[in-house]
Amino acid sequence: MISQLQQGLRSLKCYHMANALEEVIQTSKENDLSYLDCLNSLVEVELHNRRLNRIRIQFRRAGLPLEKLLEGFDFKFQTSISKRQVNGWLDFSWLDNRENKLFLGPSGVGKTHLAIGLSREALQKGYKVRYFSMCDFVEEMILKEASSSSREWLKELLRNDLIVLDEIGYLPIDPRYTHLFFQFINECYEYRSVLITSNKMPAQWGSYFGDESVAMAILDRLMHHSEIVIMNGDSYRLKDKLDTLKASEKFSDGAFPLRSKAPSENFN
Ligand code: ADP
Ligand code: MG
């Protein structure tokens, strides 16, 4: 009887129910549970496992390059942002409201770490996320355009709740493709959330994109419903080397960029 029921459940694609059937029946017997409770436990097993599978698939699809957790972020080292502020983002109402986040600051201050940590939390909550380094994004965008498949690609991308574009500003974008990037941002505007990290302040985006007016239009859309976090301070990568490097500063002309400059100035 049990194996017949398991077969039936499998043909209904309720694989988790089928697998848990014997155990749930046994526990229900031991605890004198009603038929209704027993059935309810089985449905819960199915729903829970389906959700876990969905999240697992979404984690794979997100393309996060590293395992960086929010728990591992040292808010005592990076004081431009507080733990309270980040915790406030974890209800993800900003994703529901299609708002953006821009993390701006020099190299090594934790922009990517925070972006990945936040993406992981969003995925755990069941949101769809897609991560790109800006370099990979531009490369893919150009390839899709060349193969006339950019419409389908864009449609697929816009199925995500959050699109992360990490490290805007490091490698120059060919100005011939700036308009394509604008089109992408325009499609996301008020429809999907974008999380940007950049070592360039908005004033530098014109020269980065090679066109002031398109850069303005991109920024305009990104910043309209957004939170901008300026992250300053020393590079975490050099954390253990800072004392040595600071001492050596006395002997150098200060060419080595140990510290970030004030937010109003250029990062580079
Ligand atoms: P950015 O993207 O700003 O250049 P990253 O996020 O890549 O910086 O950080 C560089 C390295 O330092 C990473 O290994 C990251 O995990 C670590 N890191 C940066 N800031 C912090 C921090 N506040 N707490 C813990 N680790 C940090
Ligand atoms: Mg980074």
Contact 101 CB / ligand 1 (< 6 Å) = no
Residue-wise pLDDT for 130-184, tens only, equals 999 999 999 999 999 999 999 999 999 999 999 999 999 998 888 889 999 999 9
C-alpha to C-alpha distances, 48 to 60, 62, 242, nearest whole angstrom: 19, 21, 48
What is the CB neighbour count within 10 angstroms for residue 106? 19
How far is Cα 2 from Cα 253, in angstroms, rounded to an integer?
80
At residue 256, does pLDDT exceed 80? Answer: no
Q: Are 221 and 202 in contact (CB under 8 A)?
A: no
How far is Cα 33 from Cα 24, in angstroms, rounded to an integer?
10
At residue 252, does pLDDT exceed 80? Answer: no
At residue 254, does pLDDT exceed 50? Answer: no
At residue 264, does pLDDT exceed 60? Answer: no
Residue 61 Cα to ligand 1 middle (Å): 23
Contact 112 CB / ligand 1 (< 6 Å) = yes
- Residue 244 in 3-state DSSP? helix
Closest protein CA for atom 23 of ligand 1: 74
Closest protein CA for atom 6 of ligand 1: 110
β-sheet with 193-198: strand ranges across: 129-133, 162-168, 193-198, 100-104, 226-230
Beta bridge partners of 7: none
Contact 236 CB / ligand 1 (< 6 Å) = yes
How far is Cα 90 from Cα 194, in angstroms, rounded to an integer?
16
Closest protein CA for atom 20 of ligand 1: 110
- 15-32 as b/e, with b when 16 or more CB fall inside 10 Å? ebbbbbbeebbeebeeee
Residue-wise pLDDT for 86-123, tens only, equals 999 999 999 999 999 999 999 999 999 999 999 999 99
Q: Considering only CA atoms, which of 89, 64, 109 is closest in space to residue 199?
A: 109
Q: Are 120 and 149 in contact (CB under 8 A)?
A: no
Q: Of 113, 133, 167, 242, which is best to mutate to test ligand 1, by the most ligand atoms within 8 angstroms of its C-beta?
A: 113
Residue-wise pLDDT for 175-214, tens only, equals 889 999 999 999 999 999 999 999 999 999 999 999 999 9
At residue 268, does pLDDT exceed 60? Answer: no
Q: Are 163 and 92 in contact (CB under 8 A)?
A: no
How far is Cα 122 from Cα 160, in angstroms, rounded to an integer?
11
- Residue 260's pLDDT is 47
| Sheet strands (E) in 8-123 | 100-104
Q: Which domains are delineated in the chain? A: 2-61 (no CATH), 63-249 (3.40.50.300)
- Residue 172's pLDDT is 87
Contact 68 CB / ligand 1 (< 6 Å) = yes
Residue 205 Cα to ligand 1 middle (Å): 23
Q: Are 112 and 68 in contact (CB under 8 A)?
A: yes
Residue-wise pLDDT for 56-87, tens only, equals 999 999 999 999 999 999 999 999 999 999 99
How far is Cα 224 from Cα 218, in angstroms, rounded to an integer?
10
Mean pLDDT to the nearest integer, 42-66: 97
Contact 78 CB / ligand 1 (< 6 Å) = yes
* Contacts of residue 149, Cβ cutoff 8 Å, sequence gap at least 6: none
Tokens 């360039």 correspond to: 200
Length of the chain: 268
